[in-house]
């Protein structure tokens, strides 16, 4: 067993949350029991996850996408009421780490993706993304690599050069960063989702665009965080997968 508040303080320090501005509560979102033995990690909070965690008798859930966002209604009813009811009845703590987990230099979604994709000379791109170099790849080769890394079919706008040497990456829903990637002179940009205007922007800027799935591109960080906690503390940690096609 580990005191709940000790775990929260460790995570807040390790993920450097005091250096991150986000549009959701960072860290603690729902307080549960004081001692923690079993921890569930997952990409997104939801009723299905909470029920699974309760059945496993988890004491804490840590997610990338939490329950509360700045623009959400403040009235607790309907699905939100049901979600909270499961947590409160089972005395489960909920923690959410969004941008702090995206941008962490070791366990962040973007740092881990850059490593898995074989990027070298990695530097920041935009607020939380990364950019790096590869030995020349074709768009077919890069697409194959992306699909292998994220285990998800990719949406590709083939609009860039024949040889790809400079690549940008930002997990999740970062199609807006395509302009930053083009301005940086990159040959390709990879994220989770496309927007309606993305195809035109890719064509007009002569840059390849690959969407590899919002969920798929944000599994690495939260899973690695749980594995890290299991090494540091005497706790059981289980990652709960949810096959989300988006």
Express each pLDDT in 136-179 by its tens digit: 999 999 999 999 999 999 999 999 999 999 999 999 999 999 99
pLDDT band (50, 70, 90) for residue 186: very high
Minimal CA–CA distance to 186: which of 213, 214, 159?
159
Residues 153, 158, 160, 161, CA torsion sign: positive
d(CA 159, CA 187): 9
Using one digit for the tens of pLDDT, what is the confidence trace for 99-146? Answer: 999 999 999 999 999 999 999 999 999 989 999 999 999 999 999 999
Buried b (16+ CB within 10 A) or exposed e, 64-76: bbbbeeeeeeeee
Query: 3-class DSSP state for residue 118?
Result: coil
pLDDT exceeding 90 applies to what percent of the chain? 97
List 132's β-bridge partners, or say none: 167
d(CA 113, CA 110): 5
Query: 3-class DSSP state for residue 173?
Result: coil
pLDDT value at position 81? Answer: 96
Rounded to 5 degrees, what are φ and ψ at 41? -115, 150
Report H helices in the chain: 4-14, 47-55, 78-89, 99-102, 109-117, 139-150, 178-183, 198-205, 219-232
| Domains identified in the chain and CATH numbers | 2-102 (3.40.1390.30), 109-217 (3.40.1390.30)
- Mean pLDDT for the stretch of residues 15-33: 95
pLDDT value at position 243? Answer: 87
pTM of the model: 0.96
Using one digit for the tens of pLDDT, what is the confidence trace for 50-93? Answer: 999 999 999 999 999 999 999 898 899 999 999 999 999 999 99
113 Cβ contact partners less than 8 Å away, ≥ 6 residues apart: 130, 149, 169, 171, 190, 217, 220
């Amino acid at each position: 067993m580990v005191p709940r508040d000790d775990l929260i303080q460790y995570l807040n320090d390790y993920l450097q949350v005091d250096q991150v501005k986000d549009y959701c509560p960072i860290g603690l979102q729902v307080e549960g029991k004081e001692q923690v033995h079993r921890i569930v990690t997952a990409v997104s909070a939801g009723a299905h996850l909470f029920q699974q965690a309760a059945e496993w008798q988890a004491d804490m859930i840590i997610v990338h996408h939490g329950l509360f966002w700045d623009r959400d209604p403040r009235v607790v009813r309907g699905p939100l009421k049901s979600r909270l009811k499961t947590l409160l009845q089972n005395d489960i703590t909920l923690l959410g780490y969004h941008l702090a987990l995206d941008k962490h230099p070791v366990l962040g979604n973007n740092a881990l993706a850059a490593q898995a994709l074989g990027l070298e000379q990695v530097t920041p791109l935009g607020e939380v993304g990364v950019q790096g170099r590869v030995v020349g790849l074709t768009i077919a080769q890069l697409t194959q690599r992306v699909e292998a890394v994220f285990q998800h079919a990719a949406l590709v706008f083939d609009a860039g050069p024949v040889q790809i040497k400079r690549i940008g990456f930002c997990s999740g829903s970062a199609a807006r960063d395509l302009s930053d990637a083009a301005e940086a002179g990159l040959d390709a940009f990879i994220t989770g989702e496309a927007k309606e205007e993305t195809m035109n922007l890719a064509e007009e800027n002569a840059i390849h665009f690959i969407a590899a799935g919002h969920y798929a591109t944000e599994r690495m960080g939260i899973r690695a965080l749980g594995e890290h906690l299991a090494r540091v503390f005497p706790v059981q940690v289980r990652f709960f997968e949810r096959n989300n096609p988006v």
